Structure 1
Amino acid sequence: MNKSHPSSQSGVSMFANLPLNALRAFESAARLLSFKAAAEELAVTPTAISHQVRALETWLGVQLFERLPRQVRLTDGGQRLFHSLHGALLDVAQSVDTLRPQRSGTHLTLSTTAAFAALWLVPRLGRFYARHPDIKVRLDTHCEVIDLHQDASVDLVVRYSLDDYPNLYGLCLFDERFGVYGSPGQVALAAEQTPTLISVRWHNSKLYAHGCDAWCAQAGENWLTRQPCIREYDEEHYALQAAIAGQGLVLASNILVSESVASGLLVGYRPQVQVDGAGYSALCVPGRERHPPVRAFFKWLEEEVRLSGSQHLPVARTVS
């Protein structure tokens, strides 16, 4: 007796009735939260997208979108369908891509802050390329927070935040602590006189100021009340370069100074005094972690955190 082919009668009937065009229209509209944007992406009219989505809702017997003035919003049912469908379509796209001749390599787009990219990621990225020479990493270091559910051009993000992300697949990389650092000469000088302080003009300036106040309170230092000379920079990597150059002391993340401390360019001033910061997490849309380049990058990130000797090892956190 011949074994049945995977496209047996039951298999054919299972897929034959799937409204594939409507599902593709829904995925695009759900990701972009716009029928107009989905129409532009799929090169059809907004009316066609609306008809496809309405037909899918009728076929399912479930409303997928709330139609609001000038916008649409996913219902709970729409969210569930989008999460599973988006991951499934990514798998199909990857499978199809592996069959294409003369493939030029795989691209991975990562969004993160300029400071994390410059001070932690890029110095280590060569080890990723050595292991995965076929994967080209593109770094997006714009300040805007990207909505991964709407921007499919970004594969994953590394975010610094106190928040949780229940609608994303994530890997907790590490929690950070803040300390004061400077060049060896500046740290020695700070024991004798009030140092010049290097400050970072964060987008949330109150958060950075709170960290300075907390460090001074814990250390018993009254620098801030003595009106010291303060030099301010827009980005943390500029501030650290200023500290390395001997311009003063800087309150900085133990994660971002790790390379400079390891090389002896920076040392801690009263290193036993540390204050809590937030945490770094690598995040992607659920399902995208199965995409081979993303999976490879997640695995590499976890190994790098372990190599860095962090006391907070990564823990994979999936959505419920």
Structure 2
Amino acid sequence: MFASLPLTALRAFESASRLLSFKAAAEELSVTPTAVSHQIRSLETWLGVQLFERLPRQVRLTEGGERLFHSLHGAFLEVAQSVDTLRPQRSGTSLTISTTAAFAALWLVPRLGRFYARHPNISLRLDTHCEVIDLHQDASVDLVVRYSLDDYPNLYGQCLFDETFGVYGSPEQVSLAATRVPTLISVRWHNSKLYAHGWEAWCAQSGETWLSARPAMREYDEEHYALQAAIAGQGLVLASNILVSDNVASGLLVPYRGDVQVDGAGYSALCVPGRERHPPVRAFFAWLQEETSISGQVALTTSTFRPRHIT
């Protein structure tokens, strides 16, 4: 049934597609770039379809190449994981998760102690760079937690939170806001589509006329800096109910007009289909489900990813 499949050529194609480089694929496979090019040419001849566009100093997948890569990468990943389950269990294993610095600092890291207590043999590494990772291209990342308005139909995931934005401050600042225009604290979003006019939307819904009074404004690049400024009594912050939850629970911040909430996007955990069966990834998904259920902030689904609020 599989005797005619050109497995060597398919392996070279998967590597070159994931890395978008014949040279990098050659290094990964410990062969020469000429050998990789020859294998891909033979695969294109065998299929009768061009898989790559050869451009100056780079290559790009054709539509047919994209289709073959996504199915082939998932199949190779599943085979690798099946083989790995037959090997003697190592004393420990690793898990790499990519997310935003704010989500890591304000929600994930404070709770990770419970994950380590349950899974002491899993070594977890956090990647908090701002660049969006293509999970089909970068196999070094096991799972991402993203905040976005986009859809990811080719990924498996859990929809973690439906998010809203409200106004919070120290108890003193919240009391003063009833009698004078406060200093307003906000975040400069890296993605301008995400809540670009947050204070305007909140003031319109609440009926507060602060913006017409031209209040002092403080803007930060990351949510955790904005929350620290509010905790220090520097003004009122427009913040995610998810990221502010621990500070509210501890009393460091209290809501101002807590009934007024503006819709945000959402957070979701995502991985390449098939990778959710890898034991460390499966353990982290299960732990996330428990943690979000404990916090009472979630309506969680698990499937090929089609959530209501999308990240």
Q: Normalization by structure 1: what TM-score?
A: 0.87
Gaps of 5+ in 2: 307-311
Partner in structure 1 of residue 109 of structure 2 = 122
- 113, 134, 139: which one aligns with 2:121: 134
Partner of 2:231: 244
How well do the aligned residues superpose, as a CA RMSD in angstroms? 2.3
**Would the aligned equivalents of 1:171 and 1:317 in 2 still touch at CA under 8 Å?**
yes
Q: Larger C-alpha radius of gyration, 1 or 2?
A: 1
Give the conservation status (yes or no) of the 8 Å contact 1:199–1:233.
yes
264, 272, 286: which one aligns with 1:277: 264
Distance, in Å, in 2 between the alignment partners of 1:18 and 1:70 is 30
Identify the residue that residue 165 of structure 1 maps to in structure 2. 152
Q: Please say if residues 83 and 287 of structure 1, whose CA atoms lie closer than 8 Å, have aligned partners that are also in contact.
A: no
1:292 to 256, 279, 291: 279
Tell me by how many angstroms 1:75 deviates.
3.8
- What displacement does 1:205 show? 5.5
2:240 corresponds to which of 253, 260, 281? 253
Match of 1:303 in 2: 290
Residues 44-95 of structure 1 show CA distances to partners (whole Å, capped at 9, x for unaligned) of: 2222111112222333444433444443333444334323332333233334
TM-score normalised by structure 2 residue count: 0.89
Counterpart selection for 1:234 from 211, 221, 241:
221
Determine the structure 2 residue equivalent to 1:31.
Answer: 18
The gaps in structure 1 that reach 5 residues or longer are: 1-13
Amino acid at match of 1:36: K
Q: Which amino acid aligns with 2:92?
A: G
Residue 64 of structure 1 aligns with which residue? 51
> How many corresponding residue pairs?
306
2:299 aligned partner, one-letter code: L
1:313 aligns with 2:299: yes
**Residue 101 of structure 1, CA deviation:** 5.5
Percent of aligned pairs sharing the same letter: 83
Match of 1:196 in 2: 183
Which segment drifts farther, 177-186 or 66-75?
A: 66-75
Distance 1:162 1:16, change over 3 A: same
Partner of 1:7: none
Q: 2:74 aligns to what?
A: 87
Distance 1:291 1:46 in 2: 32
Equivalent in the alignment of 2:309: none
Q: CA deviation at 1:276?
A: 1.0
